Structure 1
């Protein structure tokens, strides 16, 4: 009997102590405060990045002309547009060639059996706007037609309050077109009226040719025809 009384006293004291410790605390599992017994939502995970920084995700066979004029051929290549480096696969290793170490490289598309040539932009102009980056050569003559690639990052647009928008940032590959002549690059705008000074002293002849053939500055194949005709005028052929 005495043991039972002692045990009861211990239980009562323990309960009073526990109550004193917790009377000012609210449990997340208290059914009067949190009927569902659920903790508040966890914060959303950090946004991911969608898209790629590479000119092409696929490894492609190609050749590289180094700044020393040495040419290395028959290697698998990938170009990183964000960090301006050419990746070269050598056996099971990947070697890195920074922009200043090469003048151009070529990539072969096995599906179309065509080869594309890319040049180091700083070698074509002293304009600081083109201090880094590459461009694809679409037409080569006294005047070059170039397609420059660059990346644009779009930030997340998600709003938790309305649960709308994109949660991840995304990388997009964009293009700009230029003609290159005598260490000068002139941007080709998509709208015809913004290219009034593109061809210098040959502007009138070129505008007649473009209008007659219904060519558009927003169409890549039309730009190649425009560059071809412009070169024929300059060379007198």
Structure 2
């Protein structure tokens, strides 16, 4: 009797993991909300209120004082700024080929503005799906290991990944897929000076804050 109850207990635990996992998967991690937002439209109007940004659809929605919700695509927006009470972020639309390096077709898309200048570091976020391995070697590393084999269904988590770009003076968006190599190609004659600055300040091309410092310094010396 004890063994039956024990197995039933394990079954309930595994069942709860199934529903929790299903609930997490059902959530839209590509949607971000802020309690305060301000949208400047191409028409010249400015709207303020709680703001929701749908990354996948590239749509921003603002809730007005009367409770109505207005949705705007990048083509209708000059910029939008959001705040959670501690930090603020600014997003602007830029003409972009959607990462297709072999296409001349460009359409406006929202990018987060990390700095401004002759060259601007901008960012987009994408959703990546990572499988949760159920093998015993992964137990204890934040993944759930099911020793009874009840978890044969697919498990995965969706995570937000930062993608960095450079907006150039000729209004192009360059993907920084390999930030060090890509930026050194842009530094040109200033490459030696930039290398000395990066080394002296122990800056890392793979660190977002350091990237802002690197691009900002390049703007200063290339004026």
TM-score of the pair, normalised by structure 1: 0.65
Q: 1:94 to 1:60 in 2, by over 3 A?
A: same
| C-alpha displacement of 1:200 | 3.0
Tell me if 1:230 matches 2:222. Answer: no
Where in structure 2 are there 5+ consecutive unaligned residues? 1-17, 100-105, 136-145
Q: 1:224 to 1:64 in 2, by over 3 A?
A: same
Structure 2 residue aligned with 1:104: 79
Aligned counterpart for 2:190 among listed residues 176, 180, 202: 202
| C-alpha displacement of 1:78 | 0.7
RMSD: 3.2
| C-alpha displacement of 1:86 | 0.7
Aligned counterpart for 1:134 among listed residues 107, 110, 115: 110
Structure 2 residue aligned with 1:83: 57
Structure 2 residue aligned with 1:62: 37
Aligned counterpart for 2:209 among listed residues 217, 221, 232: 221
Task: Measure the CA separation in 1 of the matches of 2:68 and 2:132.
Answer: 35
| C-alpha displacement of 1:109 | 2.3
Tell me if 1:115 matches 2:103. Answer: no
Q: Which has the larger radius of gyration?
A: 1
Considering Cα pairs closer than 8 Å and 6+ residues apart, tell me whether 1 or 2 has the greater RCO: 2
**Aligned residues between the structures:** 185
TM-score of the pair, normalised by structure 2: 0.68
Q: Deviations over 1:125-178 (max 9, x none)?
A: 5x3536464211111111111121122245787899944466455432111112
Where in structure 1 are there 5+ consecutive unaligned residues? 1-43
